[in-house]
Amino acid sequence: MNLAVLGDRVLVRAVPREETITDSGLIALPEESADVMGTVIACADGLDVKTEDVVIFPPSAGQVLEHEGERYIVLGHDEILAVVEE
């Protein structure tokens, strides 16, 4: 089953942030990991992003969605901060 987004939403497969576990068992994220990166899986035509773009968005953005064992984030296109250009 494929997922399609409605309106100006963007479906992203997030790239997990690298985390470390301290000796005391706390999970620590690097300071520079405040933004989150992901790959656009689906989006409407006419937006500033397209499928396969790598985008950056804040960790508080969007809604997490689990589908067929995969974890996705559904974002409004205005929540995307930047597109990574190669």
pLDDT given for residue 24 in this prediction: 78
Whether 71 is covered by a domain: the verdict is: yes
The contacts of residue 64 (CB under 8 Å, 6+ apart) are: 71, 72, 73
If one counts the domains in the chain, the total is: 1
pTM of the model: 0.75
pLDDT given for residue 84 in this prediction: 92
- Tens digits of pLDDT across the chain (86 residues): 688 889 999 999 987 666 667 777 776 666 554 458 899 999 989 999 999 999 999 988 999 888 888 889 999 999 999 999 87
Whether 2 is covered by a domain: the verdict is: no
pLDDT given for residue 67 in this prediction: 87
Q: How far is CA 65 from CA 1, 22, 28, 35, in A?
A: 14, 29, 24, 19
Whether 13 is covered by a domain: the verdict is: yes
Which domain, by its residues, includes 39? 9-84
Which CATH number covers residue 39? 2.30.33.40
Structure tokens of 62?
Answer: 């969007």
CA atoms within 13 A on the CB side of 12: 29
Whether 39 is covered by a domain: the verdict is: yes
pLDDT given for residue 27 in this prediction: 66
* CA distance linking residue 9 with residue 77, whole number of Å: 6
